[in-house]
A and B are shown apart, each in its own frame.
Chain A
Amino acid sequence: MKDILGLVAKRLGLGLVTLLVVSVLIFFAVELLPGDIAQAVLGQMATEETLAQLRLEFGLDRPAVVRYFDWLAGAVTGDFGTSLIDGEAVTAKITDRFINTLFLAAYAAVIAVPFAIALGIIVALLRNSIFDRVANVVTLTSISSPEFFLGYILILYLAVKWSMFPAIASLSSSMTFLEMLERTFLPALTLVLVVTAHMMRMTRAAIINLLASPYIEMARLKGAPPWKVIVRHALPNAWAPIINVVALNLAYLVTGVVLVEVVFVYPGIGQLLVDAVAKRDFPIVQACCLIFAATFILLNLAADVGAILTNPRLRHPK
C-alpha cells in the first residue's frame, strides 16, 4: 500500500509539472497573436491615446514574464482576472457553466460507461456472432457520424416528430433534479452514442486478447461455463486497457462537448469558450484551456492509478 501511495504522489507531482508547462503554452500562445489585447478590444475605435490608456489599465506595459506570474498566482488562488468585454470576474462567469458541463458529462458517463462495458463483455462472449457484428456496425456508425449530425437526428425524431424530449436544453435554477435530467436527456444521449463505441470495442479486444492465455484454457478445463470464463477469469486481467480508454472518453465528455452544447443551446463551458474566442475575450479563453488541461491530466492520472490498483502484483507484493 505504501508503494502505491508513493506512486500516486509521484504521478500527481508529474501532473502538476505538466500543468505548469501547459499554462506557459496557453499564456504565451495568446501573447503571440498579432496585435495585443488592447487593440483587439478597441478594434476600429483604436487611437494612439485610447490604446495607451487601455494598455496601462490592463497592465500591458509590464513585461510578459511578470504578467505571466501574476496571472499564474491568480489562477492558483482561483482568480482568473476579469473579462475584457463586460469587466465581470472570469471565475464567477465560468463556475456555473463548468458545473453545468460536469453535470452533463456525469449524466452521459453514468449511462455510457456501464453500458459500453456490459456490451463489450456480451460481444466478447458472443464473438463473431451476428449480434457481435451488428453491435460493432451500429456503434461504429454512431462514432463515425459528427456529433452535431447525431444531435440533429435525435432532435428531429425524439423532439420534433414524437415530442418525447425537449429539443433545447436550457437550464434554470428553479428546476428540480428530475426536470434537469429530462431537459438534458438528448444532449446526454448524443454523447453516449459518441463515446460508447470506443469503450465497447476496447473492452471486447482486451478480453479476447486474453482468451489464448493458459489460465483461460485452465478455467475451461475446470468446467467453467463461457460467461464465467469471461467475467471471472478474463475481465479482472483486462481492466488496465479498459480503464485507460474510459478515462480518455470521460475527458472527452468534459472537453469535447462544444458542438453538442451549441446544438442543444446548453449553458456549458464549451459555449462560453466559443463565445469568448469569437469576442477575443482572452482571460476566459485562457481559463477554459487551463481547466480543460487540468481535467485531462487528472483523469489520466486516475486511469494510471486505477490500472495499478487492478494489478494484483502491485496490490499484493511478495
Chain B
Amino acid sequence: MSKYHNKSVLLEIRDLKIDGYADETWVPIIKGVDLTLRRGEVLGLIGESGAGKSTIGAAAMGYARDGTRISEGSIEFDGMELTTATSAEKRALRGSRIAYVAQSAAASFNPAHKLIDQHTEAPLHYRIKKRMEAQEDAMELYERLRLPNPTEIGFRYPHQVSGGQLQRAMTAMAMSCRPDLIIFDEPTTALDVTTQIEVLAAIRDIVDQFDTAAIYITHDLAVVAQMADTIKVLLKGEEVEHASTEKMLDAPEEDYTKSLWAVRSFKRPQKSRPEDDSRPVISVQGVDAAYTGGAKVLDDISFEIYPGMTVAVVGESGSGKSTAARVITGLLPPMSGEVLCRGEALPPRYQDRTRDQLRQAQMIYQMADTALNPKSRISDIIGRPAQFYSGLKGQGLKQRVDELLDLIELDPAKFYNRFPPELSGGQKQRIGIARALAAEPEFIICDEVTSALDQLVAEGILKLLDRLQQELGLAYMFITHDLATVRSIADEVVVMQNGKVVEQGAKEEMFTPPHHPYTDLLLSSVPEMDPNWLTTLLEERGVDNIGEAASV
C-alpha cells in the first residue's frame, strides 16, 4: 500500500449498499463496502460467486446492472459523485476514463463488427482521435499486447480470433482512450492455463506501462496474487479482510480467508491397478474419430480404466477430452478402433447398445444449469433413469429416489418435489450425480464437473465423489483442465494434446519430472500462490516465447 500512499485518490467508495430484485422484493446484495483506490494502484477483489465482486466492479463505473440498484453510500471518482450524477455525465466517463474488461471476450465482442471498429468506437465517439489515428493506435496496442499480426488482426471478426487473443484485444480496447481506471471482471477465468499466462502477462505489462489503476476481480487467489498490490476479500456482500498482497498471503487474519487459502487441502491416497487379472471396466483401443466432414479430432487414442479407480484426462480445450467421452458413451461412433467394457466390445452407436450396456457409461456434465431440465421436478429427474434401467414403479421408485438423495447428502423430504432453478450450483451438481447413480453404473464420466463451481463447493463435490467411489466401487473418467483437481483425486492421468495421448501413467509418476514437454508446459502454467511466480516463470520461459507456447 505504501507504494501508492502519496498518489492522489482516484476512486473512493464509502458504505456502498446495492439491492437486487428477487422474488418481487428488493434484497440487499452489497451491505456496506468501503474501497479506496489511488492512481496506478491495482486492487484485487476476491470471493465466491454471489459475493458481489462484479456488482461492485460495475458500481465503480456508476453502473447498476438490470435488476440491481444502488441504494445507499457514495462513489466518488476523481472528485465526481457518481451516485447523484446524471446518466449523461456517467456515460461520458465510461470508455474514456473508466473502462471495462469482461469475463468472456467471445460473448462481449459484438459478432457483427470487426474488432478494430469496436476498438475505435469510444475514441471516435469522444472525438479524442480521428479514425486513421485511432486505428494506428489500436495496432500499436495490439503489438504491445503481443497479438500476432498486429496490423491485420483488427480487421477480423470476433469469431475468427481465438479466445486468448480476443481477451487481449479486449484489454487493448479498454486502453483505447487511456483510461485512469480499468475494471477487469474475471478476464482469464474462461481460458486454459497456458493461454491464461499470456493474458495475465499482457495485462500486467500494459497496466504498468500506462500507470493505470485497476480493480481486478477473480475467484482465483493464485491469479490475484500475481496482479494486485492489495487484496480485498468479500463474502456475501460484505468485506472480510483487506490487506497488501504479501500480508494477505503470508498471514491472513480472518477464518474465512484462511479457509479459502486452505481449500486445496483435500487429497486422497493414490490407488493402483488391481493385482489380480480383473479386466478394465472400460478400455479404449486405437480410436480415431471426427465430426461430420471435419478433420480428425481423435487420433489413435488408447487408455484403460480399472474398476474403482479414477483416471483423469487432462489437456487444453480442443484437445479431444470431451470427444473421447462421446465415443465411449456411443454418442459419436469412432472411425476406427473400439471401446471394450469388461473385455466385451461395445457397439459403436448408442442406439445399438442394450439397456445393460447403456447403464455402464453414465455422464455428469460441467454445467448442471443446462444439463438439468428446469421444468422437471427433482423426483422425475432422478426417478426416470431409475425407472428406465431398473423398472421400478410406485412406492419402490420413490424409495429408490429417497435413497439416492440420501447418498448425495440432500434431505429427500426437502428436495423431492423441487425444481432445479430453486437450487444452488453445488446442489444442482449433486442432483446430476444422483441422476448418474440412478442407473447403478460401474463407471461414470465426469466432464469438468467442478470447473463451474466455487472452490469450497467444488471441494465438497470432490469429497462426495470420493466417498461414493469407496462405497459403490465406481470407476471415474475425470475430464478436467484443472491440475489441482487432478492432484487431489486422480489415480492415473492421461494427458491429451491435439487429439493424441501424449503421456499416461500413475499420478505420482506424472507429477515427478522428467515430463513430456507438453505435460511440463501444462504443469508449469498453473498459477501458484507466490506473488513472484509469474515474473519468475516469464524470465525462465523468455517473454517473447509465451505467445508461441499457447497459440492453439
Residues of A whose CB lies within 8 Å of any CB of B are 212-215, 217-225, 228, 232-233, 236-237, 312-313, 316, 318
Contacts and interface: CB of A to CB of B under 8 A. Distances in A.
A220 B110 contact: no
Contacts of A218: 100, 102, 108-110
B121 A222 contact: yes
B93 A215 contact: no
Interface residues of B, number: 31
A223 B93 contact: yes
Given A214-B102, A214-B107, A218-B102, A316 B125 contact: no
B111 A221 contact: no
Interface of B: 58, 61, 63, 65-66, 91-96, 99-100, 102, 104, 107-113, 121-122, 125-126, 156-157, 159-160, 173
A224 B121 contact: yes
Contacts of A236: 110, 112-113
A208 to B, nearest CB: 12
Contacts of A219: 110, 121
The A interface, classified by DSSP as helix, strand, loop or mixed, is: helix
Given A221-B61, A318-B159, A237 B102 contact: no
Contacts of A312: 111-112, 157, 159
Contacts of B58: 221
B538 to A, nearest CB: 29
A4 B160 CA distance: 18
A187 B426 CA distance: 62
Contact of A215 (B107, B122, B157): B107
Nearest to A211: B66
A110 B95 CA distance: 39
B107 A316 contact: no
Contacts of A318: 159-160
Given A212-B66, A221-B94, 12 more contacts: A214-B104, A218-B100, A221-B100, A222-B94, A223-B92, A223-B125, A313-B111, A313-B157, A313-B159, A316-B159, A316-B160, A318-B159
27 contacts: A212-B66, A213-B107, A214-B102, A215-B107, A215-B111, A217-B102, A218-B100, A218-B110, A219-B110, A220-B63, A222-B94, A222-B99, A222-B121, A223-B91, A223-B92, A223-B126, A224-B125, A225-B91, A228-B125, A233-B110, A236-B110, A313-B111, A313-B157, A313-B159, A316-B156, A316-B157, A318-B159
A127 to B, nearest CB: 12
Contact of A223 (B95, B107, B159): B95
A160 to B, nearest CB: 49
Contacts of A237: 110-112
A155 to B, nearest CB: 45
Contacts of B61: 221
A196 B531 CA distance: 62
Contacts of B65: 217
B121 A221 contact: no
Nearest to B174: A222
Looking at B93, B113, B156, which has the most chain A CB atoms within 10 Å of its CB?
B113
Q: Residue among B58, B61, B121 with the most chain A CB within 10 A?
A: B121
A316 B157 CA distance: 8
A214 B108 contact: yes
Contacts of A212: 66
A18 B228 CA distance: 64
> What are the nearest 9 A-B pairs in CB distance?
A236-B112, A223-B95, A222-B95, A223-B94, A214-B107, A221-B100, A214-B108, A215-B110, A218-B108
